[in-house]
């Protein structure tokens, strides 16, 4: 990852420490055994690529005690990275089974993230505002509600696009109604689900 350009020492350190296979195996099983949503084959591998996790985590510029909202708990690997960076982590998953299993896993591993079953498009207003928001599924657009759950100077890292690839965007809330947006290249994510019935 260092060779690929990741320079954030804290991110490199915590990723080096976390046993990734524990998460990876689990999400892989879940997708094949229970998922009734059309996930592309191999989506688990793509999402769990350490480089993407490192890249998004670095862009957030997390400081200890920061409040971070994650959209798309999935297998919980990114959640663990955020916890190891000593953020206060709030994470939302749209699929009930994944939510339950990952909630248990994170608990067993001693991670203190607050996990929610719900829709990431809504965010989690009761705990807002956040220092950072990280979206780990491909969003069709930048959800307005998420933008307004950021603190002023808060940062949102979100892959945007509905095709096979998404543009990684960094949104910074500069003022009450003032946001900047920067692009950080193409990545590939499973889609952010809309109108899921259960
Ligand atoms: N951060 C995860 C990424 C998992 S893949 C990890 O480290 O493994 C993306 C996840 O986003 C999937 O689990 C998917 O179910 C979830 N997701 C999709 N649409 C969502 C939505 N609208 N709200 C919350 N989670 C969503």
Strand partners, 186: 167
**9-187 classified as CATH 2.60.40.10:** no
The gap between the terminal CA atoms of the chain, to the nearest Å, is 38
Spatial CB neighbours of 81, under 8 Å, sequence gap ≥ 6: 11, 14, 15, 18, 53, 57
Per the CB < 8 A criterion, the answer to whether 181 and 155 are in contact is no
pLDDT band with cut points at 50, 70 and 90 for residue 27:
low
The pLDDT of residue 28 is 53
**Higher pLDDT pick, 84 / 20:** 84
User: Percentage of the chain surpassing pLDDT 90?
Assistant: 68
**Closest protein CA for atom 14 of ligand 1:** 72
Q: Where are the domains of the chain?
A: 9-187
CA distances from 115 to 18, 59, 89, 118 (A): 19, 22, 8, 10
Please state, for a pLDDT cut of 70, what percent of the chain lies above it: 85
Pocket of ligand 1 (CB under 6 A): 27, 47-48, 71-72, 74-75, 77-78, 92-95, 98, 119-121, 136-137, 190, 192-193
Mutate to test the pocket of ligand 1, among 34, 79, 113, 136 (most ligand atoms within 8 A of CB): 136
> 190: pLDDT confidence band, cut at 50, 70 and 90?
confident
How wide is the angle at C-alpha 85 spanned by C-alphas 58 and 83, nearest 5°? 120
Judged against a pLDDT cut of 80, whether residue 165 lies above it is answered with: yes
Mutate which of 74, 75, 77 for ligand 1 pocket (most atoms within 8 A of beta carbon): 74
Q: Residue 36: what pLDDT?
A: 31
pLDDT tens digits, 28-48: 555 543 343 433 333 343 445
């Amino acid at each position: 990852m260092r060779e690929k350009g990741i320079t954030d020492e804290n991110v490199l350190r915590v990723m080096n420490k976390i046993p990734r296979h524990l998460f990876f195996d689990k999400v892989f099983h879940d997708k094949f055994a229970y998922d009734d949503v059309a996930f592309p084959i191999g989506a688990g591998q793509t999402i769990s690529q350490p480089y993407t996790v490192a890249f998004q985590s670095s862009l957030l510029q997390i400081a200890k005690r920061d409040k971070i909202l994650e959209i798309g708990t999935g297998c919980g690997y990114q959640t663990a990275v955020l916890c190891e960076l000593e953020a206060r982590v709030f994470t939302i998953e749209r699929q009930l089974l994944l939510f339950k299993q990952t909630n248990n896993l994170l608990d067993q591993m001693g991670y203190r993230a607050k996990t929610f079953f719900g829709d990431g498009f809504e965010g989690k207003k009761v705990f807002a505002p956040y220092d950072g928001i990280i979206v780990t599924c491909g969003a069709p657009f930048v959800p307005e509600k998420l933008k307004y759950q950021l603190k002023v100077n808060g940062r949102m890292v979100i892959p945007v696009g509905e095709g096979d690839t998404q543009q990684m965007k960094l949104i910074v809330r500069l003022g009450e109604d003032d946001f900047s947006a920067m692009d950080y290249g193409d990545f590939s994510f499973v889609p952010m689900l809309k109108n899921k019935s259960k």
